Structure 1
Amino acid sequence: MKNVLKPHFYTDKTEAGCDEAGRGCLAGSVYAAAVILPPDYDNPLLNDSKQLSPSRRQQLRKQIETDALAWAVGVVTPREIDEMNILRASFLAMHRALDQLRVRPQAVIVDGNRFVPYHDLPYTTIVKGDGKYQSIAAASILAKTYRDDYMDELDARYPQYGWKQNKGYPTRSHREAIRQYGISPFHRRSYNLLGDGQLSLNFDDD
């Protein structure tokens, strides 16, 4: 089966694909991954993580971690998100992932339309890049699965919010739980948590 995703954007450079998970969530850290695939790599199963079942994502995560020349995951906490805003936090998570790569990339390709330059490396932003390039798809899978595992762990501590199901996203039941129980230490206080257009919760120090 031929892969509809392109192998590489930069054909003459070692490139790292980057993507994030969790930008739109009310709770939890934002995760990002960076992946460098071999020059001749072609995996027909790779795709945007949102198009894959949870079991297929986990299967591909193991394969990516085995096959990649280098991979890493970066994390930015809810408190950091509140301090700098989610867009900057997403870029920081990508930078933290890139910092950890054991192979230094010569270029970066990023899902989306904005990015903060990483050192002096050339970069290209690609809208819906996780459905166009294999390294970005691989990064989306790693970011998504590692973040989902993290939210499942938090759910065991705060089961009232249903994070195992909603992963921190603003579902109706999640917001109803916030109304009933208040916030956890992992909620993003700079967000409109109740969906009423304002920051209406009374935040006490943790």
Structure 2
Amino acid sequence: MLCGIDEAGRGPLAGPLVVVGVILKEKVEGLNDSKQLSEKKREKLFDEIKQKSFYHVVFTDSKTIDEKGLSACLKLSIKEIMENLKKEASSFLMDGNTSFGIQNLQYKIKADATVEEVSAASILAKVSRDNYMKEIALKFPKYIFEKHKGYGTKAHIELIKEYGRCEEHRTTFKIKGIDDILNQDSLF
């Protein structure tokens, strides 16, 4: 059985990296790249995918991303998924253009839109991460994480300019034009 692997949260300025592996046990209708689906459709598919699959979800917090680097965190997450799903999976396929040097990991660009298991992983990763960002929005209301999910939107960057970074922000992700301001003001 194929284990599809995908991630959400590679590029945001705040919040975790979420990597998911999925092995479908039953057919799930309507799968696609999570970015091509509405939030409502993703959330509906989320529960169905969980019921009809073996899956493993790995969260890596922003502090660990800053300490180890994004590529190392991706690689560690993929290895954890492979270890946890090795009994059920006969092969592993990652969305993207690299295997991160991991043996027995295949990769395919746009697999999240063309391979059902990877589409399912894409949806679980996106919804899991979005739900996390909605939860932390309650702890850090001034950043409005529930709206932009930690991505570098104009509104989010303006809030960082105003308040500095919180513990959910990735300090190694530099923001053009404001890191100099933040460093001068010692806001973080």
Structure 2 spans left out of the alignment, 5+ residues: none
Q: 1:166 to 1:83 in 2, by over 3 A?
A: same
2:182 corresponds to 1:201: yes
1:96 to 71, 80, 94: 80
1:60 and 2:40 aligned? no
More helix by share: 2
Tell me what 2:19 maps to: 32
Q: Report the identity percentage.
A: 33
Which runs of structure 2 are paired with 1:66-81 in the superposition (5 Å)?
66-68=51-53, 70-81=54-65
Q: Which residue identity does 1:166 align to in structure 2? A: H
Q: Equivalents in 1 of 2:181, 2:124: separation in Å? A: 35
Preserved contact between residue 25 and residue 169 of structure 1 (Cα < 8 Å): yes
How far the C-alpha of 1:198 sits from its partner, in A, is: 5.6
**CA distance, structure 2, for counterparts of residue 22 and residue 93 of structure 1:** 13
Choose which of 98, 104, 108 in structure 1 pairs with 2:92. 108
CA contact (8 A) 2:28 2:49 kept: no
Shift of 1:170: 0.1
Q: In structure 2, how many angstroms separate the alpha carbons of the residues matched to 1:46 and 1:177? A: 35
Aligned residue number for residue 4 of structure 2: 17
Deviation at 1:96, TM superposition (A): 2.7
Q: 1:117 deviation in Å? A: 4.8
- Give the CA deviation at 1:89: 1.7
C-alpha separation between the residues in 2 aligned to 1:49 and 1:165?
Answer: 17
Quote how far apart the aligned CAs of 1:77 are. 1.3
TM-score calculated relative to the size of structure 1: 0.82
Moved over 4 A (4+): 197-200
Distance of aligned partners of 1:187 and 1:165 in 2 relative to their CA distance in 1, 3 Å threshold: same
SS in 2 for 1:170: coil
Count residues in correspondence: 187
Structure 1 letter corresponding to 2:14:
A
2:3 match: secondary structure: strand
TM-score, with normalisation over the residues of structure 2?
A: 0.90
Structure 1 counterpart of 2:167: 185
Write the deviation string for residues 99-118 of structure 1: whole angstroms up to 9, x where unpaired: 33384422110000012355
Alpha carbons of structure 1 residues 200 and 34: separation in structure 2 relative to 1, 3 Å:
farther
Q: Could you tell me how far apart the structure 2 residues matched to 1:199 and 1:77 are?
A: 24
* Residue of structure 2 aligned with 1:50, choices 21, 35, 44: 35
Aligned positions of 1:145-156 closer than 5 A: 145-156=127-138
The one-letter code of the counterpart of 1:67 is K
> Aligned partners of 2:65 and 2:181: how far apart in 1?
18
Deviation at 1:162, TM superposition (A): 1.5
Pairwise CA RMSD: 2.2
